[in-house]
Amino acid sequence: MKKEGLLNKIKEEKVKFIRLQMSDINGMLKNVEIPSDELESALENGTMFDGSSIEGMVRINESDMYLKPDLNSLCIFPWTVEKGKVARLMCDIYTTEGKNFEGDPRFILKKVISEMKEAGYEAYAGPEPEFFLLPTDEKSKRPELKFLDDGGYFDLLPIDKGEETRKYIVEALEEMGINVEASHHEVAPSQHEIDFTYDKILNTADNIQTFKLVVRTMAVLRGLHATFMPKPFMGINGSGMHCNMSLFDEKGNNTFFDTNEKYQISNNLRYFVGGILKHIDAITTIANPTINSYKRIIPGYEAPTNVAWSVSNRSALIRIPAARGKQTRVELRSPDPSANPYLLFAVIFASGFKGIKEKTIPPTPIVENIFRMDEDKKNDLGIKKLPRTLREAIKALEKDDFIQGVLGNHLSKKFIELKKKECDLFDESVTDWEINKYLRIL
């Protein structure tokens, strides 16, 4: 979209306010709101903001930064219509010298996209984000750790608050131009999944951020709380965000598909998988970036814990779903929805693309159910485990110069620093489990 077209669209739709949005290092969406009559100036000159107030950006003596909107990212919110509509534009972050800020997660992803495009590849992704819908206390409006239903995977439940809210979420997403492929109840009570259409990875990362905002907003409007916390409940499945990925060439051919190869999967796909597996320990820090993330990736709850790949076998970390032709894809099953989508796609695709360039051959795909394998069999097959804690994953990131290079010097240092602090704070904390276990008996 050109500037004139965007301004005309804003005028035609009677949009009153524009939210200029960006993501911090943790993937939290931030915004500066401007009146629509200031948009033309923002497009030409950018909008100044205080970068020192955003997690992981700059020090206070370097605080002046600029937001420059991406003209192709316009979305109009469907729930703000009383006194004029509100729209959002995703933004890139610039320094006062007019250069891209090296710690901007969106810019980091754009650099990876540019490198792949130079080699003739266009990257696509489709996520499967899961979340819980929880009740809130009537007085405080704070979320309560209780279930809204007793449903399970694909259950058709009577219309209740949860099912109704999911319907409103889908309708809002469709109105905003995000095409939903499927929505359903997930395995755990009160857990839901909404999958949206495959798209170029920058659009998909933007859509994940918008999706989270829509889910949370529609839940609040109906007296509920939506959480993307990976594991809010002990003893049931946590929330993941499986990532389906493909690489297309300049003619629109899926380079992961080859009718002449075994399983009809190309060498490009195998090398892509090999590249991801080579760097998976460091990738895990980005894919599973919280203390709580590692409560999900434990045996017994369907989340992958072992480093292996397969064709259609859902017990593996990476699987190749059965669809072929243009739908041939790689599915990485470890990420969870607490991940920053820009950084997540940057490290996954950079690793896979490196695998293609270096022709990294992955191990033999596993056909057996890995969940039921004993440790001796896993050792015989060379199947190792994913990092079991955030601290273990951080150590892997510190040793992986390639992944640090993808993130850039500024962001990788800030990210490691923040995550180490998170681990230290957790180590200092006294948990409810400890109180319940020890207080009365010791």
Per-residue confidence (pLDDT) for residue 155, from 0 to 100: 52
**Residues 31, 180: one domain?**
no
> CB–CB of 386/317 below 8 Å?
yes
In three-state secondary structure terms, 59 is: coil
* Tens digit of each residue's pLDDT (9 = 90 or more) over 287-330: 999 999 999 998 888 889 999 999 877 788 999 998 899 999 99
Q: What percent of the chain has pLDDT over 90?
A: 65
Would 25 be classed as within a structural domain? yes
- The CATH number of the domain holding residue 116 is 3.30.590.10
Distance CA 225, CA 220 (A): 6
Helix axes 390-399, 409-428, angle to 10 degrees: 150
**Residues 143, 50: one domain?**
no
Would 51 be classed as within a structural domain? yes
Would 379 be classed as within a structural domain? yes
Biggest CA pair distance of the chain: 71
Task: Provide the mean pLDDT of the chain.
Answer: 90
> CB–CB of 100/91 below 8 Å?
no
CA distances to 206, 239, 266, 277 from 316, rounded to whole Å, are 28, 17, 19, 12
Residue reference for tokens 């369907």: 302
> CB–CB of 221/161 below 8 Å?
no
| pLDDT beyond 60 at 158 | no
How many C-beta neighbours within 10 Å does residue 12 have? 8
Measured between alpha carbons, how far apart are the two ends of the chain, in Å?
Answer: 67
Asked whether the whole model's pTM tops 0.85, one would answer: yes
Per-residue confidence (pLDDT) for residue 61, from 0 to 100: 47
**Residues 383, 264: one domain?**
yes
Out of 101, 131, 146, a domain closes at 101
Give the bridge partners for 76, in sequence order. Answer: 87
User: Is the alpha carbon torsion for 307, 310, 313, 318 positive or negative?
Assistant: positive
* Tens digit of each residue's pLDDT (9 = 90 or more) over 62-102: 578 899 999 999 999 988 656 678 999 999 999 888 899 99
**Residues 246, 296: one domain?**
yes
Would 48 be classed as within a structural domain? yes
Distance CA 204, CA 128 (A): 11
Domain that holds residue 365: 111-409
Distance CA 213, CA 208 (A): 9
Per-residue confidence (pLDDT) for residue 341, from 0 to 100: 97
Would 390 be classed as within a structural domain? yes
Query: Which stretches does DSSP call E strand in 249-360?
Result: 306-307, 309-311, 318-320, 330-332
**Residues 125, 232: one domain?**
yes
Question: Closest by alpha carbon to 247, among 273, 221, 285, 208?
Answer: 273
**Residues 8, 139: one domain?**
no
Q: What are phi and psi of 124, to 5 degrees?
A: -125, 150
**Residues 90, 127: one domain?**
no
**Residues 147, 47: one domain?**
no
Out of 76, 101, 126, a domain closes at 101
Distance CA 427, CA 77 (A): 41
pLDDT grade, residue 366 (50/70/90)? confident
How many C-beta neighbours within 10 Å does residue 384 have? 12
The number of distinct structural domains making up the chain is 2
Distance CA 428, CA 389 (A): 16
- The CATH number of the domain holding residue 7 is 3.10.20.70
Would 429 be classed as within a structural domain? no
Distance CA 380, CA 378 (A): 5
